[in-house]
Amino acid sequence: MNKTIQLQDLETKDYKETWEYQEELFKGIVDLKIRNRREELDLETPNYFLFVEHPHVYTLGKSGDLSNLLLSEKQLEAKGATFYKINRGGDITYHGPGQIVGYPIIDLENFFTDIHKYLRFLEEAIILTLEEYGIACGRSEGETGVWLGAGTPFARKICAMGVRASRWVTMHGFALNVNADLGYFDNIIPCGIRGKAVTSLNVELGVEKVNEEEVKEKILKHFSILFEAKFEKSVIKNH
């Protein structure tokens, strides 16, 4: 069982290009697992964790409802935003500058084979990170992601999640609003949930800007403890 995760920070990268790169890494792991089974081998499968910041983009999950996007094609263009239907779970969400997006592309057979536990651990890594900033947050029953004021009229989402898994290999992940322009969320019904607000770490702390690199370090710290994993920075080839 390989518990080392190769960390790559893609910095600012187009959503579609990043999605294609995820698919490439994902396929590499799945193909290796198929080969192991077919040829009765025991070759070690790699794990990856991508950090990225996307230019303004809206993405709709496979079970999502297009009517939750409140903009026309022309309006999207005017806002400098793009739109993609993608193969993760969940409904519609927004990605953009000031948001930390994390894509763990890992073979869960290296850790544990439980998708529910995987999602809870992703949420827990974010919850523990935000608690370091004095933010009281948690889960909202029946809704993935991380929330403030869950169960109250002031419930607001700070971190969205949507994953895909096949043969115990994961892709897609989480999007944590750190210094995000929340106005872009007004153009969608976030995650298809009406009447729930969205927030960002800088707003909750009442500051103009939070150090995003510091937030990333905290996420990795908690992720590595929860998954009993170690991170290694790896070279990004041709990307």
Known active-site residue 191: yes
Q: Is 102 annotated as a binding residue?
A: no
81, 148, 191, 198: the catalytic one is 191
Q: Is 160 annotated as a binding residue?
A: yes
Q: Is 93 annotated as a binding residue?
A: yes
Q: Is 162 annotated as a binding residue?
A: yes
Q: Is 180 annotated as a binding residue?
A: no
Q: Is 134 annotated as a binding residue?
A: no
Q: Is 173 annotated as a binding residue?
A: yes
Q: What token pair was written down for 105? A: 């592309």
Q: Is 1 annotated as a binding residue?
A: no
Q: Is 89 annotated as a binding residue?
A: yes
Select from 91, 103, 87, 80 the least CA-distant residue to 184: 80
Q: Give the number of other CB atoms < 10 A from CB of residue 207.
A: 10
Q: Is 149 annotated as a binding residue?
A: no
Q: Is 95 annotated as a binding residue?
A: yes
Which amino acids are annotated as binding site, given as ranges? 88-95, 160-162, 173-175
Which amino acids are annotated as binding site for substrate, given as ranges? 88-95, 160-162, 173-175
By annotation, the residues acting in catalysis are: 191
